[in-house]
Amino acid sequence: MTFPDDKFTTATAYAEAYFKALAVAAGSVDRAKLDAGAMLLAAAYQRGARVYVCGNGGSAAISNHMICDHLKSTRTDTDLLPRVISLATTMETLTAVANDLSYDEVFVYQLRSLAEAGDVLVMISSSGDSENIVRACAWAKENGLQTLAMTGFDGGRAAQLADINLHVAADNYGVIEDVHQSLMHILSQFIRQDRMAPALIKDRKF
C-alpha cells in the first residue's frame, strides 16, 4: 500500500492521513544507527574534519539547511567548530560540471578537489539511487572518507554503500523529506546539548 492510495476530499482529511504516515515513517528509523550517526558527526566536529553534504531537489535544500544548523547552531555554547560544506549550493560549479561533463559528476568532481581522508560525506537522497550521489559515495569510501546516508523508498545503492544509513521506510517524497529534515535537526540539537554546560540548556532556545 502506498500513500496516498485514494482520493481525499478535504485538506484536513489529507493532513490527518499524512501526519499518521509521518509518525510511522519517523518510527521506522533505526535508533542504533541514529546514535552512530551522531557519534560520527560529533567526532568529525571535534577533530576539525570537514563534513560535506549533498542532495538533489528537496534534498539539496536540506543539505543547504544543514550548513545553518550544524555550522552555526551546533557551535553555539559549545567548544565545537563544525566545518560543514554543502556541495549542492555551489551553483556556478554545479552548472559548469553538469554542462561540460555530466550531471552525474557534479558532487564527486568537487570532492576530488576539496576532500581529504578523515573527512565525512553526508548524502541525502529519498531514492538513494541518484547517480551523482552514488558516485560521490563510492569515491568517498575509496579515498578514506566516512559516509552517512539518509534514504527512503528501498534505500537504493547509497544505502548499501554508506557506512551508516538512516533509512526512512516510506514511499512518499514529502514524508521522507520531512523525516530527513527532522533527522538533520535532531543530530544538530543532540550534539549541541551534549557539549553544553547542563545549566545552560534550560536557558537556551533550540
Report whether pLDDT(1) > 80: no
Q: CA-CA distances (angstroms) from residue 40 to 24, 35, 114, 130?
A: 26, 9, 20, 24
- For residue 53, which of 14, 88, 81, 98 has the smallest C-alpha distance? 88
Residues 6+ apart with CB under 8 A from 103: 97, 132
pTM of the predicted model, to two decimals?
Answer: 0.95
- Could you report the per-residue pLDDT of 94-143, keeping only the tens digit for each? 999 999 999 999 999 999 999 999 999 999 999 999 999 999 999 999 99
pLDDT, average across residues 22-35: 98
Tens-digit pLDDT profile for residues 42-77: 999 999 999 999 999 999 999 999 999 999 999 999
Tell me, which fold does domain 13-195 have in CATH?
Rossmann fold (3.40.50)
Cell of 134: 552514488
C-alpha cell at position 206: 533550540
Delimit the domains of the chain by residue range.
Answer: 13-195
- Sequence-ordered list of residues with C-beta below 8 angstroms from that of 151, at least 6 positions apart, any chain: 125, 126, 127, 128, 158, 159, 165, 166, 167, 168
